[in-house]
Amino acid sequence: MDRDLDALAIDPDIERAQTLPGWVYDDPAWFARLVERVFPQTWHLYPLDAMPRAQGEQVPWSLLPGALDEPLLLTHDGAALRCVSNVCTHRGFVMVEQPSSAGGIRCRYHGRRFGLDGTLCSAPGFETSPDFPRDCDHLHAAQLHRWRELTFVNFSGGAAFEAWFRPVAQRLDAVVPQSMSFDPAGSPHYEMNANWALYCDNYLEGFHIPYVHPGLNAALDWSVYRTELFAGGSFQIASAKPDEPAFSLPKSHPDHGLRVAAYYAWLFPCTMINVYPWGMSVNIVLPQGTRRTKVVYRRYVWDASTLERGAGAGLDAVEYEDEAVVEACARGVRSRAYQAGRYAPEHERGVHHFHRILVAASRAPA
């Protein structure tokens, strides 16, 4: 059946709005549109452990493997971390296959050389070519920003990082220290048979917590669970029950006086930053087609004494509980009996916000 993707719309009035239709999650044309119009223009978290830290080091990686599959290269020029295309501008050869300390980027196909910032340094065979080098003969430079231990990359434009991330920094700078320890044992990855957007839908509402997460529900005062929206994402703020760990917030913080057990920050489209009194757990969502999603966890600890207490305890169990319901939804939205649902106005504001942003972004020029 042919469907008009441009006719998709989400009513701004959540009390009247219908959710995304079920067919969207399983539609190859919709996924292809996101690959062309949304994912290249948005910010994504670097998902690997390897990081160039000294002059000359370079680490190859792929941005959104299974979706964009964009070959990139993180480099360090001694002064700054950079991110450039890993594709030679001569014949499209992927140049660096393994982490290296070569000090420069060399294409082993025809010998072209680039600086660590992507500037073309030499091009054998082109010494007498007119109008050379052009701007496009240098390596494409992706935008890169760091916040605490997290590295964000944007391949080709879209929202400025400062505007996109400012609401998160304003909320979390006071509770996330500059120094923290990466926990490899607490940083697994998961794969599920479901569309990436269904995983986001589930993350963006606390409505399901009493029904799906008995352990998490026991630690939270769900009666005061709330969601706050901002242009590029949303916050879910979970309050602790009396005997559970909570943040000690300064007087200048907007949540001072509240017993906050966890902050769940979502940034469009695929970034989830979860902050607890013990530390931070990040979910990096990697779309891999209409029916497959990979989620990379990265955990950072600054107070191990509360690591397995409160809202941040048993994250593996919570993840598996979430995956079970997300995969059930993935099967259900393909049903001929399902068209679209309605949003629970008090509990699904984050989902409604996500759907509106997603539909608007899908209409942007490629």
**Distances in whole angstroms, Cα of residue 75 to Cα of each of 156, 165, 202:** 18, 23, 36
* Averaged pLDDT, 190-207: 97
Angstrom distance (rounded) from CA 225 to CA 347: 9
* Averaged pLDDT, 172-183: 94
pLDDT tens per residue across span 119-165: 999 999 999 999 999 999 999 999 999 999 999 999 998 889 999 99
What percent of the chain shows pLDDT beyond 70?
99
Does residue 89 surpass a pLDDT of 60?
A: yes
Residue 3 pLDDT grade (very low, low, confident, very high; cuts 50, 70, 90): confident
Residue 79 pLDDT grade (very low, low, confident, very high; cuts 50, 70, 90): confident
In the chain, the domains with their CATH numbers are 44-154 (2.102.10.10), 161-362 (3.90.380.10)
On average, the pLDDT of the chain sits at 94
Angstrom distance (rounded) from CA 25 to CA 7: 16
Residue 366 pLDDT grade (very low, low, confident, very high; cuts 50, 70, 90): low
* Averaged pLDDT, 24-40: 96
* Averaged pLDDT, 78-106: 94
Does residue 2 surpass a pLDDT of 80?
A: no
Torsion, CA 230, CA 348, CA 258, CA 309, rounded to 10: -110
Q: Can you give the pLDDT at residue 198?
A: 98
Does residue 1 surpass a pLDDT of 60?
A: no
- Helix, strand or coil for residue 299? strand
Q: Half-sphere exposure of 52 toward its Cβ, with a 13 Å CA cutoff?
A: 27
Q: Can you give the pLDDT at residue 135?
A: 96
What b-and-e string marks burial along 37-58, b requiring 16 or more CB atoms within 10 Å of the CB?
A: bbbbbbbbbbbeeeebeeeebb
